[in-house]
Amino acid sequence: MQREAVLFKAELDQNQATARGQRTLRSPIGCVGTGLHTGAKVSLTLHPAAPDSGVRFVRYDRPGCLPVPARFDRVCDTTMCTALGDPGGTVVGTVEHLMAALAICEIDNLLVEVGGPELPIMDGSAQPFVFLIECAGTVEQDRPRRWIEVLKPVTLKAHGKYARLEPSDRLILDCDVHFEHPLVDSQAMRITFDPESFKTEIARARTFAFAERVEELWSRGLALGGSLKNAVVVSRDRVLNDEGLRFPDEFVRHKVLDSLGDLYLAGAPLRARLTARSAGHTMHNKLLRALFADPGAWRLTGGSDAFDKEAPARLVAGA
């Protein structure tokens, strides 16, 4: 009886979520932080945006450059982070934690202004972005929200990694990590998307790095802004951060966060189950490209007539 009541409530929540309008910010809000890879100070401003305009990034340090849509087909680099770009050479890196915050806060339309080639890393999690969004407040817009339903499974395997999207009436993220390391080892988590629980259980999980790899990253010009303030750093036998971990399984929770942010680059929230075994940004992006390359594998639901429902497939085909 109780189980039925829970199921009924979940069904009700799902229907209410389907029926509601698109969402944007009530007012602009900004912050300043450090770029993880460049180490440079960078400012970020989130602006409300019109219905059906989606999430777009604009580099205000490059006058005249066009906004880059936050979409899987604009991903130009997945080395250590997810970066968006356009043929004119405009790049916006490390978008995945902000994208995860937008997924959690169910923001559909937003113009993101950034003053450099990557977003500020903040504390290495999505929580500061969720905080910014909550400070600005959100408004519901007069167009219905749209969703992408996965209609048949799409599977990728490469180098011991595995990623799969399959049909589900809600977003389920099933991730794991495996490292030959006594502290991290193997961690797994399967979680159904829920905005409120994700704010406390997932948004706060920080990015992580192994101490022995940090110098190697620096020599490659990566992670120059990395520090104990914006990443969990693990040596062979301990967590170097004084405050320790936020969760015993913070590593896999951060993988869930990354997958949520990367999947939000579908251009709308997905109704699917993701299984990701040791997968990262590269596999997440390849999975979306494989999904949209097959017109029979997905369908857009909700939305208004103004939205071009065939657009993602045409973009993948290069039309």
* CA dihedral sign, ordered 93, 188, 2, 272: positive
Taking alpha carbons only, the member of 23, 99, 2, 4 closest to residue 57 is 99
Asked if 118 interacts with Zn ion (CB under 5 A), we say no
207 binds Zn ion (CB under 5 A): yes
User: Which one, 175 or 300, has the nearer CB to Zn ion?
Assistant: 175
Buried b (16+ CB within 10 A) or exposed e, 125-134: bbbbbbbbbe
CB-wise, 150 or 205, nearer to Zn ion? Answer: 205
Cβ-Cβ contacts under 8 Å for 11 (sequence gap 6 or more): none
- Catalytic annotation present for 281: yes
DSSP 95-136: -HHHHHHHHHTT---EEEEESSSB-B-TTSSSHHHHHHHHHH
* Residue among 121, 75, 127, 81 at smallest CA distance from 105: 127
Q: How far is the CB of 221 from Zn ion (least distance, A)?
A: 19
Minimum CB distance to Zn ion, residue 253 (Å): 11
- Marked catalytic residue, from 37, 97, 281, 284: 281
Choose between 22 and 259: whose C-beta lies nearer to Zn ion: 259
86 HSE (CA, 13 A, CB side): 13
Task: Assess 258 for contact with Zn ion (CB under 5 A).
Answer: yes
Tell me how far, at minimum, the Cβ of 125 lies from Zn ion, in Å.
Answer: 8
Beta-bridged to residue 191, according to DSSP, are: 173
Cβ-based nearer residue to Zn ion, 56 or 206: 206
Q: How far apart are CB 255 and Zn ion at their closest, in Å?
A: 8
Q: How many residues in the shown chain lie near Zn ion by CB under 5 A?
A: 2
Mask for 214-253, x = binds Zn ion (CB under 5 A): ----------------------------------------
Which contiguous run of DSSP H or E holds residue 190? strand 186-192
**Could you tell me which stretch among 20-28, 200-208, 263-271, 294-302 binds Zn ion (CB under 5 A)?**
200-208
- Taking the complex as a whole, the smallest distance from the CB of residue 233 to Zn ion amounts, in Å, to 14
Residue linked to tokens 């499974």: 153
The nearer residue to Zn ion, 276 or 297, going by C-beta atoms, is 276
Query: Looking at the annotation, which residues are catalytic?
Result: 281
Question: What is the binding site for Zn ion (CB under 5 A)?
Answer: 207, 258
